[in-house]
């Protein structure tokens, strides 16, 4: 997309493993590369000295300060950018939506985005986000084993049109 003059803003949240076990998820600003913790397992949170008073999603503790510092700022950069920008979020799910400030920025960014590539949790039940998405009439893709290595070509082509 950069070769076509687009800038990409937003965030993604890859899992982090230690010795084969998932210990949490990072939150990474797509544009700057800055990162922090989205969530850590309860055990890892205790080991690293984080408070367990934060919101919990399953066996994970959401680290609100990092989520706001990385995720909120990434989205604010998006909607203050120029018109050749693409919004990218991987993913819009329970952990991301557990932080009210990030949820608010996601809704605002989705409302303003002309072009976006989003990964949405399969059980998303946030009415406000669903309403914004429905107004945009999004194209939905399901990633499968058969298409996962080539779907990026179709998505890139769709974003360029």
Rounded to whole angstroms, what are the CA distances from 68 to 6, 87, 109? 25, 17, 15
pLDDT the model gives residue 52: 82
Per residue of the chain (161 residues), give pLDDT as tens. 888 888 999 999 999 999 999 999 999 999 999 999 999 999 999 999 988 888 999 999 999 999 999 999 999 999 888 778 999 999 999 999 999 999 999 999 999 999 999 999 988 999 999 999 999 988 889 889 999 999 999 998 888 88
pLDDT the model gives residue 72: 98
User: At 37, is the secondary structure helix, strand, or coil?
Assistant: strand
Residue 116 lies in domain: 2-160
Pairing state between β 21-29 and 35-41: antiparallel
Torsion angle in degrees (nearest 10) through CA of 136, 158, 108, 27? 140
For residues 97 and 103, is the Cβ–Cβ distance under 8 A? yes
pLDDT the model gives residue 99: 97
pLDDT the model gives residue 1: 84
Q: What is the Cα Rg of the chain in Å?
A: 16
CB neighbours of residue 105 within 10 Å = 20
CB half-sphere exposure, 135, CA atoms < 13 A: 11
CA–CA distance, 155 with 143 (Å, rounded to integer): 11
CA–CA distance, 29 with 26 (Å, rounded to integer): 10
Count of domains for the chain? 1
pLDDT the model gives residue 85: 92
Output the domain CATH number for residue 8. 3.40.50.300
Q: Any idea what the Cα angle at residue 112 is, between residues 107 and 118, rounded to 5°? A: 60
pLDDT the model gives residue 46: 92
pLDDT the model gives residue 160: 86
């Amino acid at each position: 997309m950069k070769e076509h003059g687009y800038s990409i803003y937003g965030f993604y949240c890859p899992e982090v493993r230690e010795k084969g076990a998932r210990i949490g998820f990072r939150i990474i600003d797509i544009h700057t590369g800055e990162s922090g913790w989205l969530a850590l397992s309860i055990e890892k949170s205790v080991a690293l000295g984080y408070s367990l008073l934060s919101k919990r999603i399953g066996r994970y503790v959401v680290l609100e300060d990092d989520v706001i510092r990385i995720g909120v700022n990434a989205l604010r950069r998006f909607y203050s950018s120029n018109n050749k920008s693409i919004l990218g979020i991987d993913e819009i799910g329970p952990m991301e939506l557990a932080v009210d400030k990030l949820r608010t920025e996601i809704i605002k960014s989705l409302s303003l985005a002309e072009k976006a590539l989003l990964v949405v949790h399969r059980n998303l039940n946030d009415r406000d986000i669903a309403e914004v998405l429905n107004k945009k009439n999004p194209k939905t893709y399901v990633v499968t084993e058969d298409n996962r290595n080539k779907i990026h070509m179709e998505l890139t082509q769709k974003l360029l049109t």
